[in-house]
């Protein structure tokens, strides 16, 4: 019995040796060369991330500008969308960066109390603060995400429409949310409900493809490529439909809220003018 265990342990050791032998080449690389390779890999990785952010932000700005054109009855053009995407990339990037930056001091403030109690040995109080912090953080992130989401949808559209700077866009987005809180939350809730509906439809579609994939795999493993390809095409279609809808939906909501605000302001000015005339 012991011999059996010994041979099994030896097999495990042999496998470990086989696995880690492949890393022995690192010992023969010059440290400067290794540092250069790692630095190049980091640069390539960061470049890919930046390029992905650039493409996403560029497309975001272009789609917003063109959906605003559609809502206003104008003809969208790829050339104009391309120019808008390039022009507003850095402003939209900074707009989002500002809201991300706000979270850092909040997270630090939540982490400090439990860390201090852990340091002084009050583990019970530290655990209590961790639980409280988690509840506050989750609720806070939910509220913050909703507010930032709506401010971003309105503020960035106003930025592109009025060629505003980042600070002005944030202020306008906040004012539109504050002055139209009920309407804004209703728009957000409808958007979330439709998102859940589309997500449920996507889940059902995914399960159908999964069942078909299993059946095809049992018939012939190579046949599983057919449902996989069709599934990837379906993901692209679902994503495209949702993106077009979401951009158009928020552009229409923004236009209606801004138009309603102007109408209210005009009515207020008219009422004030009538009152002044009567008083005279």
- For CA atoms 191, 197, 201, 203, the dihedral sign is positive
* 184 class by beta-carbon count within 10 Å (0-12 exposed, 13-18 middle, 19+ buried): buried
**How far is residue 262's CA from residue 267's CA, in Å, rounded to a whole number?**
9
- Using alpha carbons, list the distances in angstroms from residue 204 to 191, 210, 230: 20, 10, 15
Residue range 140-159: average pLDDT? 89
Confidence at residue 8, expressed as pLDDT on a 0 to 100 scale = 47
Specify the pLDDT at position 177: 92
Residue 151 has pLDDT above 90, yes or no: yes
Neighbours of 211 (CB within 10 A): 11
pLDDT digit string, tens, across residues 202-228? 889 889 888 988 888 888 888 888 888
- Residue 28 tokens read as 């023969």
- Of 18-27, 52-61, 80-89, the one with minimum mean pLDDT is 18-27
- The C-alpha angle 159, 177, 92, rounded to 5 degrees, equals 30
pLDDT at 173: 92
Percent of the chain with pLDDT over 90: 16
Query: Residue 91: CB partners within 8 Å, gap ≥ 6?
Result: 159, 165, 166, 169
What residue spans define the domains of the chain?
A: 28-87, 106-179, 182-269
pLDDT exceeds cutoff 50 at 4: no
Mean pLDDT of the region 33-45: 85
Lowest mean pLDDT among 1-10, 149-158, 218-227: 1-10
pLDDT confidence of 188, banded at 50, 70, 90? very high
User: Does the structure show a pLDDT above 70 at 91?
Assistant: yes
pLDDT in tens, 98-107: 888 877 777 7
The answer to whether 115 touches 93, Cβ cutoff 8 Å, is no
DSSP 62-106: HHHHHHHHHHTTPPP-HHHHHHHHHHTHHHHHHHHHHHHHHHHHH
Distance between CA atoms of 55 and 237, rounded to whole angstroms? 19
What are the distances in angstroms from CA 175 to CA 34, 142, 155, 162, 262? 53, 20, 9, 15, 13
CA 199 to chain centre: 16
Q: What's the predicted TM-score (pTM) here? A: 0.68
How many CA atoms are closer than 13 Å to the CA of 66, on its beta-carbon side?
Answer: 20
């Amino acid at each position: 019995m012991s011999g059996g265990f010994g041979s099994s342990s030896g097999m495990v050791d042999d496998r470990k040796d086989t696995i880690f032998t492949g890393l022995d080449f690192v010992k023969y690389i010059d440290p400067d060369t290794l540092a250069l390779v790692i630095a190049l890999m980091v640069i390539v990785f960061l470049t890919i991330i930046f390029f992905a952010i650039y493409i996403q932000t560029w497309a975001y700005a272009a789609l917003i500008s063109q959906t605003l054109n559609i809502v206003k009855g104008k003809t969208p053009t790829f050339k104009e969308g391309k120019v808008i995407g390039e022009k507003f990339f850095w402003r939209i990037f900074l707009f989002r960066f500002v809201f991300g930056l706000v979270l850092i001091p909040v997270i630090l403030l939540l982490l400090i109390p439990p860390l201090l109690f852990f340091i002084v040995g009050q583990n019970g109080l530290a655990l209590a603060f961790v639980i409280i912090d988690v509840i506050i953080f989750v609720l806070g992130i939910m509220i913050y995400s909703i507010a930032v989401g709506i401010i971003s949808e309105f503020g960035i559209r106003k930025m592109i429409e009025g060629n505003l700077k980042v600070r002005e866009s944030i202020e306008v987005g906040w004012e539109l949310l504050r002055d139209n809180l009920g309407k804004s939350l209703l728009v957000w809730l409808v958007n979330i409900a439709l998102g859940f509906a589309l997500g449920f439809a996507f889940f059902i579609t995914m399960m159908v493809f999964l069942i078909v994939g299993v059946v095809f795999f049992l018939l012939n493993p190579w046949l599983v490529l057919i449902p996989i390809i069709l599934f990837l095409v379906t993901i692209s279609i679902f994503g495209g439909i949702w993106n077009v809808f979401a951009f158009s939906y928020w552009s229409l909501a923004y236009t209606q809220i801004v138009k309603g605000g102007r109408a209210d302001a005009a009515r207020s000015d008219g009422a004030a003018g009538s009152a002044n005339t009567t008083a005279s």
